[in-house]
Amino acid sequence: MNRTIDQYTVHYKGLKIGRHHFDFEVDDSFFEQFDEGEIKKGKINVSVELERHNLMLEFRFNIKGLVEVECDRCLDPFMLPISFKGDLFVKITENENVNDDEIWFISNNEHQVNLAQYIYESINLSLPLKRYHGISGTNESDCDPIMLNRLKLTKNNTINNSSSNGIDPRWEKLKDLQIDNNNTN
């Protein structure tokens, strides 16, 4: 495990049964570790409450910050505020089990849990489907006006190119063919 990812490790074996609190910072170097992802930049605080039981760890996450995304309208990158709350249960067991999103299984031989993957996935889950200037308290007037105009022109051209009565020109042609067929019959 590299040093950046290693920072998000909780060494639970040394912790007493009961409640513990952790704070993690997520920055650009964090996202560099997940190079397949869309997010490249961000500044996020991850606050974690851990309740340690004998054979179970309950993590409660509160993730808040800013990530850089591309505006759907003007294609400019901008900082979007995100927030996410989620729970992760880690069971300590010798039985073979398959991890899912909210329940992980570790063996008693493992002394630590690394939370980087969970944090990364949670940040991605917190992203809205559409991202544009004006969403989540960002400024609509930050939309790049030159780009917006250019995109508007392209859109208008596409509309003008299609036939005036709104019917796809290919269908128009097909209709003519059908009429021809009828005439020959």
Give the residues lining the site for Zn ion (CB under 5 A): 71, 73-74, 133, 143
- Asked if 27 and 66 count as a contact pair (C-beta separation under 8 A), the reply is no
Rounded to the nearest whole angstrom, what is the least distance from the CB of residue 140 to Zn ion in the complex? 8
Rounded to the nearest whole angstrom, what is the least distance from the CB of residue 131 to Zn ion in the complex? 9
Query: Which residue, 99, 160, 120, is CA-closest to 39?
Result: 120
Q: Which is nearer to Zn ion, 134 or 169 (CB)?
A: 134
Rounded to the nearest whole angstrom, what is the least distance from the CB of residue 83 to Zn ion in the complex? 21
What span, in angstroms and rounded, lies between the C-alpha atoms of 17 and 161?
70
Q: Which is nearer to Zn ion, 77 or 169 (CB)?
A: 77
The CA-atom distances, in angstroms, between 184 and each of 145, 170, 173, 174 are: 56, 22, 17, 16
- Asked if 74 and 144 count as a contact pair (C-beta separation under 8 A), the reply is yes
Phi/psi of residue 142, nearest 5 degrees: -80, -10
Q: Extract the runs of DSSP E, i.e. beta strands, from 32-138.
A: 42-52, 56-70, 77-92, 103-106, 113-114
CB closest to Zn ion, residue no: 71
Rounded to the nearest whole angstrom, what is the least distance from the CB of residue 73 to Zn ion in the complex? 4
Rounded to the nearest whole angstrom, what is the least distance from the CB of residue 63 to Zn ion in the complex? 24
Q: Which is nearer to Zn ion, 70 or 121 (CB)?
A: 70
Residue corresponding to tokens 């063919």: 177
Q: Which is nearer to Zn ion, 31 or 78 (CB)?
A: 78
Q: Which is nearer to Zn ion, 46 or 71 (CB)?
A: 71
Query: Which residue, 58, 128, 108, is CA-closest to 86?
Result: 58
